[in-house]
Amino acid sequence: MSILLFDQTKITADSIKYTHTGLLLSGSRVTVVLPTVPRLYLYSGWQSWSLTTWIETSRQVKPLRPSIMHAREADPVYIRGKKPNGSWYGAIEMADGKVLFLGALGLESHVMLDNQTLKGSYETGAGEWLLMVGDEMEVFSRYAQLLQERLGKNRIKEPYRVWCSWYSLYDEIDPTKLLKILADLGDLPFDVFQIDDGWQKSTGNWEPNAKFPQGMQKMAARIHETGRKAGLWLAPLLISPASDIFHEHRDWLLHDEQGHLVKAGYNWGDVVYALDTTHPGALPWLIALMEKVRAWGYDYVKLDFLYAGALPGKRHLDVPRETAYRDGLLKMRTALGDAYLLVCGSPILPSLGLCDGMRIGQDVGDYWDSRLFDDFLINFGTPGVHNALRNTINRLWLQPLVHTDPDVVFFGSHPNQLTPLQRSLLQDLAQIAGFKATSDIPAWMTESEQAGLRGFLEKRPVIQQKSRTSFEIDGRLVDFSAHINMPAQPGPFTNFIGAVLGRLADIPAVMKIFDAENHRSLKKMLKENPI
């Protein structure tokens, strides 16, 4: 059916129901024909690291580079779309400052702006939609309420304060380093000490490697002795060629229609693959893995790179891709019991109600941005504080549903490339998001920097959002608008060079060289800055 709403806006859906806050539509396809072409559109990225921001509709849409990263940083189903589009919801800004919002209330859904027509579609079957016009914060508050009714919300009231090993040590961790840092933290009010990547034999072999000869249970016990929760990082839905599963249970992996393995991106020096969460062998393995981690004593678990479970492909069961992911996450959530679950690299809507915290932006890094990725590769899903701020600000509407993790903050000034202003912006964002974490190492910090970190952890400010990008923190106004802008589009020469670099980066051997140089630099930095 079709109706005219306001100002000659035409809506088409299978059914249309009026409510006091907007319209509830139903259908596998819905359209909203606008009287004019809007100026701004809200891109909604598929997972934690996928670009989410307001962009001028005149800006040309190009797929990020290199293509080997399409699965890791975007939704590969829609990566080639040339029109403004996004996962589950989209919005336009109207002349009076209000927004027109179209958001799906179910999974496997997408919204696209085609000239002056907003189009919503489900990949399989039909579903519900919210169509609403109004103040941006009111619109998203209503959307969050409806999603909570259908998908649920987190269980734990307050997020924890976390020390994480990643942004100082990356994968160069071992018990000696970690226990030295744990001791040096002293009485700093961290609730969690989280061990990140670098403890496992391989991605898919989740047993301690040779650097942890006493096992992970011993590490958890030492953390608990300090009165803190023990945290552990895993990426259970990714499988590397170095793992036993890759060699012994390749049928557990996601395949395409031709029977080839679905590539889930590049990491750890190799192409990685996706676990099929519907496979009768893979599912018990996932459950047993979560139960093992809990038995080791880890009561804070970070599951990363979860997008792999929702990639397109041929599964053992004919289940829609985001539904398959959500079913697998539910099984892992149940097996983890009362542990705090933080998800990262995760599809946003399919994770709601099954996690306590969610990374809502990119990895931060100890630098602002990268001309290589921003200008040459047109890739805004990569690490960097600029990218992380942009995504996080535009996803804070999720706060009623989940603890919003903006990633770590930095108080130490060395080794670190961020300016004092950039560190301050990141710290303010963490106060606004309500999720506090750092990787700062006490031995690398001055007394004043440690005092700043302590004050940050202890403070519980009153936060009030004033506009899309501005907030009051205990009455102090912080406006991010000048710091989350999109860079100018590259010119022809820059674009040509970027295309060449993108092709080179699609060669795994080239990526291995890049990885080797990063590891060399990391080892050199750690040698020059003892813990």
**What is the set of active-site residues?**
304, 363
Residue 475 backbone zone (phi > 0: left; psi -120 to 50: alpha; other: beta): left
The answer for residues whose C-beta is within 8 angstroms of residue 59's C-beta and 6 or more apart is: 486, 489
Q: Is 449 left (phi over 0), alpha (psi -120 to 50) or beta?
A: alpha
Helix axes 508-528, 492-505, angle to 10 degrees: 90
- Which DSSP string corresponds to 332-373? HHHHTTTSEEEE-S-BHHHHTTS-SEEE-S----SSS--HII
Task: Give the chain's length.
Answer: 531
Q: Which two tokens stand for residue 47?
A: 């997972």
Rounded to whole angstroms, the Cα distance separating 351 from 327 reads 10
Interatomic CA distance for residues 478 and 432, integer angstroms: 10
User: Which strand (E) or helix (H) includes residue 40?
Assistant: strand 40-43
Give the largest CA-CA distance in the chain: 70
Give the ranges where 190-347 is alpha helix by DSSP (H).
216-224, 244-248, 282-296, 321-335
User: 184 exposed, middle or buried (CB, 10 Å; 0-12, 13-18, 19+)?
Assistant: middle
Cα Rg of the chain (Å, integer):
23
What letters, b where the CB count within 10 A reaches 16 and e where it falls short, cover 116-144? eebbbbbeeebbbbbbbbbebeebbebbb
3-state helix, strand, coil in the chain (%, to 5): 35, 25, 40
Q: What is the dihedral of CA 306, 169, 375, 69, to 10 degrees?
A: -30
* Amino acid sitting at position 516: A
378 burial class (0-12, 13-18, 19+ CB within 10 angstroms)?
buried
